Amino acid sequence: MLATAFPLFILKQRTFACFTFPRWQSVLAITFIGVLMGLDPAARAGIPGMSPPMAILMAVLTIWVTLPVIVGINKWWLRRGGRWDGQGDLFNLLAASWLVVNMLGAGLVTLGMPPLFTLPLWLYSIWISANTLSGAIPKVSRGYAIQGIVLSILPAYLISFVVMVLTGFAMAVLTGAPPVAR
């Protein structure tokens, strides 16, 4: 998977055949991104009593709750108008396209870089995913792929917010602290 992910970071396009690596590699990569996101001190700043292991668990849970939404919406979006026949592993493709840039962004934030400074990396991840989709699926333009990525990210962020709020309430109940820091 790494041999596929690094060229995607520098916008080299690949065919769907390049994404036929074992699924466990994608699962491991996505989980690792979640762990890095959970290591960010800001991930637990707004929730009283949030320990680092709980923050990691929350980040991993959040990424695994939102990922099926992103993949599902993109499957639907890419099949519209006969652009994609459904052949190929979209899960592996998206995981590979996110791996390097999201590890870099989450790693920098974890090391103390303000999230605003990593915003260009997160925006670049949309471009990488769109470039990867348009390279693997000839009938999908980069612009159409960007639309699908953005369309899938919006409900994923909403779901992510709900997961964080529910986790915050659960932590408040478990620790006896108020759910909102004062």
pLDDT digits (tens), the chain, 182 positions:
888 899 999 999 898 888 999 999 999 999 999 998 888 877 666 666 677 888 888 889 889 989 999 999 999 999 998 899 988 899 999 999 999 999 998 889 888 888 788 899 989 999 999 999 999 999 999 999 999 999 999 999 898 888 777 877 776 777 665 555 44
What range does the domain containing 77 cover? 2-8+27-173
Q: Is the pTM of this model over 0.85?
A: no
User: Is 162 contained in some domain?
Assistant: yes
Instruction: Return contacts of 41-45, CB within 8 angstroms, 24+ apart.
Output: 41/110, 41/112, 42/109, 42/115, 45/181
Number of domains in the chain: 1
Q: 């333009």: which residue's tokens?
A: 141
Q: Is residue 13 part of a domain?
A: no
For residue 22, tell me if it sits in a domain.
Answer: no
